[in-house]
Amino acid sequence: MSATPLPAPWKLRLPALALASAVVLTPACSRVSHKLFGGGGTTRNGTVTVAPPKGAVGTSFSLTASGFRPGEPMTFEVDPPNHKRFVGPSHTAGPDGKVVSVYTPQPGDPPGTYLVKATGSRGTRAQSRVDITAT
């Protein structure tokens, strides 16, 4: 009867080393790829104010976003109730992190409470509301 030879010690260690490396390095690689490739960046809280806070269709409302990163590209979005949302053009935050724009509801836009969102491309988010009345 002949004995089966045992595998060389390196043949046992290699799979164990590969498994241990995978377990130890996977969380780090995930964090590195997350940082390098921009997956789901951290959300920053900014603010958006609407002036006046209430007005009729046709009123020009001043939208002021602040707390954005200097130079951060951003857009304003206005969501009327039960109506198509309006997404404005891209703006760039100034050195003070502010952006100012104007929104004017058009004839045919419904009265109600509109949600106003300011969304930056570097993770800054803000929202507010404005009440639009019938003319």
Which of 129, 121, 116 minimizes the C-alpha distance to 44?
Answer: 121
Instruction: Give the contacts of 115 (CB within 8 A, at least 6 positions apart).
Output: 78, 79, 127, 128, 129
Buried b or exposed e, range 27-39, using 16+ CB within 10 angstroms: eeeeeeeeeeeee
pTM over 0.75: no
Q: For 43-91, how does the pLDDT look when each residue is reduced to its tens digit (9 = 90+)?
A: 899 999 999 999 999 999 999 999 999 999 999 999 999 899 999 999 9
Per-residue confidence band for 4, with pLDDT thresholds at 50, 70 and 90: low
Taking the C-alpha atoms of residue 82 and residue 44, their distance in angstroms, rounded to an integer, is 29
For 97-111, what is the mean pLDDT? 95
Tell which wins on pLDDT, 102 or 19: 102
More confident residue, 32 or 116: 116
What DSSP string describes 51-70?
A: ESSEEETT--EEEEEESPPT
